[in-house]
Amino acid sequence: METRGFYRAAAAEPDRLALVLPDGRSVTAGELLAASNRLAHGLRALGLRRGDCVAMLLPNGATNIEVLLATLQTGLYVTPLNTGLAAAELAYVLSDSGARAFVAHPAYAEKAAEAVEASGIPVQARLAVGAAGSIPGFAAYADVGAGMPDSPPSDRVFGQFMQYTSGTTGRPKGVRRDILAADPDLLACLLSDHLRRFGIEPGGGNVHLCTSPMYHTAPLAFSWFALHFEHPVVLMAHWDPEDALRLVERHRVTTTHMVPTQFHRLLLLPEEVRRRYDTSSLRHVLHAAAPCPVDVKRRMLEWWGPVIYEYYGATEGGGTLVTPHEWLERPGTVGRAWGSGAEVRILDDDGKQCPAGQIGTVYLKVLQDFAYKGDEAKTRESRRGDFFTVGDVGHLDADGYLFLCDRKIDMIISGGVNIYPAEIEAALFMHPKVGDAAVFGVPDEDWGEQVKAVVEPAPGVEPGPELAAEILAFCRGRLAHFKCPRSVDFVAALPRDPNGKLYKRKLRDPYWAGRERRI
């Protein structure tokens, strides 16, 4: 089936289902198209012009999609803001992005109002979802499109995502690409054809489930791709493993995007709960964002069948892809370059290409040029010719399949030996009493660093010395002695964002207070 794209398909079939909101309400394609067109006219009436930026601080809902569809047909940048950021962090991104409009939800009223004060965003372009004044000093978002035409705006041109890196190792940086003089329908179709790499086709009775906050690149992008493939998108307000199973069964979901932490949470559900829901509609479950422990993925494949596809990429670009059958032949791989000019290289610290099997820094071919906004040094440091890195470490096998070890900044060097926390975390996840785990290096006078494990016990499990001893013994039976944690600390919950990304520095930094790490 030819890709028509959302705008043309919605105009042709306005009554087709487009969105199922977290509260269960439905939005048709015609309703969504009209709302996004009115917003596009309204943003122009506010004075926004090609190359300006619209920032949004929103929970999953129709407004995210309206803003996305409006900006990406009017030559604007759109910057989703992490709803977990503090006011000062939001203020930094608003300023750094040069946002000229800010759409926020009253759920974040206090920090939104504080963050916008020094932004320079005109008062009339500070927009609250809901009534005027629901956020102090904000106008009503609905008023921007009120009275505007439902028809497409004139002089349509494709905009760009400008998403900010997560900031797990410092201040977030905007990944900025040039606005191209391109037709929005054409470019949207070309970009959404990324789904075909996984064997996903337009139409065909597909339904997509968005399980994570859309301020992250993947949940936002794959929901946007799905709309352009004429697939209804079901939105979750927040991740809940049993609710995800319920929605899969209720809406006969065929595609979704998850992260390994969500797989682990699903597997922690009691067997009788997992069996309660029919997940046979699933055809393509895509996952990325972090290394997936082999045991976790194998158990998911046993449960859902050969429908789990893994890829490796970043906000900056991608990437690799592995089908379920390829992964079962090479457990642990994140796949080979996914074609269309994609290429993977492993380089040593001198920039020389590593042979198969040798560990080095992972570099990916730049497919659409980008820069880190306002940080030329970081842009230069991430590049080697036409390739970029986000700091991951891994190796290629003889057939070009990529195996990741860990992020370079998270690697532990103990007694001169490189230790990769992801391998140890994978072992910890196999213990039935471990709900979540993080491993990192802490200071050691003799060895430089020693291996520390921080564990979030599984539901109903009490932490304490006996559990720590049990976990350490479990590791000694599965890992080389130098990889085994020397000690285990317990926390009620690891500092993960709602998409599963672990802020490991928040755990590690207190152990290094007053000490200098090698990185």
Give the domain CATH number at 149: 3.40.50.980
Nearest to 173 by CA among 37, 367, 474, 374: 374
Per-residue pLDDT 10s for the chain (519 aa) are 788 999 999 999 999 999 999 999 999 999 999 999 999 999 999 999 999 999 999 999 999 999 999 999 999 999 999 898 889 889 999 999 999 999 999 999 999 999 999 888 999 999 999 887 899 999 999 999 999 999 999 999 999 999 987 654 457 788 888 898 899 999 999 999 999 999 999 988 999 999 999 998 889 999 999 999 999 999 999 999 999 999 999 999 999 999 888 998 899 999 999 999 999 999 999 998 677 888 889 999 999 999 999 999 877 777 899 999 999 999 999 999 987 778 999 999 888 999 999 999 999 988 777 878 777 887 787 888 888 888 888 999 999 999 988 777 788 888 767 888 888 998 999 999 999 999 999 988 777 889 999 999 999 999 999 999 999 999 998 888 889 999 999 999 998 876 677 888 888 889 888 776 655
Tokens of residue 80, six digits: 């989703």
Residues 404 and 420 occupy one common structural domain: no
Cα torsion angle, 487, 290, 64, 368, sign: positive
Quick check: is 232 in a domain? no
Residues 446 and 499 occupy one common structural domain: yes
Quick check: is 342 in a domain? yes
* Residue 109 exposure: Cα atoms within 13 Å on the Cβ side: 15
- pLDDT attached to residue 23: 96
Residues 388 and 427 occupy one common structural domain: no
Q: What is the number of domains present in the chain?
A: 3
Q: DSSP code of 180?
A: P
Residues 357 and 432 occupy one common structural domain: no
Residues 415 and 363 occupy one common structural domain: no
Residues 295 and 382 occupy one common structural domain: yes
Residues 359 and 321 occupy one common structural domain: yes
Residues 395 and 293 occupy one common structural domain: yes
Nearest to 61 by CA among 114, 111, 22: 22
Quick check: is 442 in a domain? yes
Please state, in angstroms and as integers, the Cα–Cα distance from residue 247 to each residue in 108, 307, 519, following that order: 27, 17, 43
Residues 389 and 264 occupy one common structural domain: yes
Quick check: is 517 in a domain? no
DSSP, collapsed to helix, strand or coil, labels residue 433 as: coil
Question: What is the distance in angstroms between the CA of the first residue and the CA of the last residue of the chain?
Answer: 50
Quick check: is 224 in a domain? no
Quick check: is 183 in a domain? no
- Answer with the one of 142, 166, 190 that is the final residue of a domain: 166
Structural domain span for residue 153: 28-166
Alpha helices in 399-464 (DSSP H): 421-429
- Answer with the one of 140, 166, 192 that is the final residue of a domain: 166
Quick check: is 35 in a domain? yes
3-state per-residue secondary structure call for 343-384: CEEEECCCCCECCCCCCEEEEEECCCCCEECCCHHHHHHCEE
Neighbours of 162 (CB within 10 A): 24
Residues 261 and 359 occupy one common structural domain: yes
Q: DSSP code of 289?
A: S
Q: Burial-class residue 24 by CB neighbours within 10 Å (0-12, 13-18, 19+).
A: exposed
Say what the alpha-carbon torsion angle 65, 68, 71, 75 is, to the nearest 10 degrees.
Answer: -150
Quick check: is 16 in a domain? no
Here the CATH number for the domain that contains residue 454 is: 3.30.300.30
Residues 359 and 386 occupy one common structural domain: yes
Residue 459 near residue 435 (C-beta atoms within 8 A): yes
- Answer with the one of 383, 408, 433 that is the final residue of a domain: 408
Residues 276 and 425 occupy one common structural domain: no
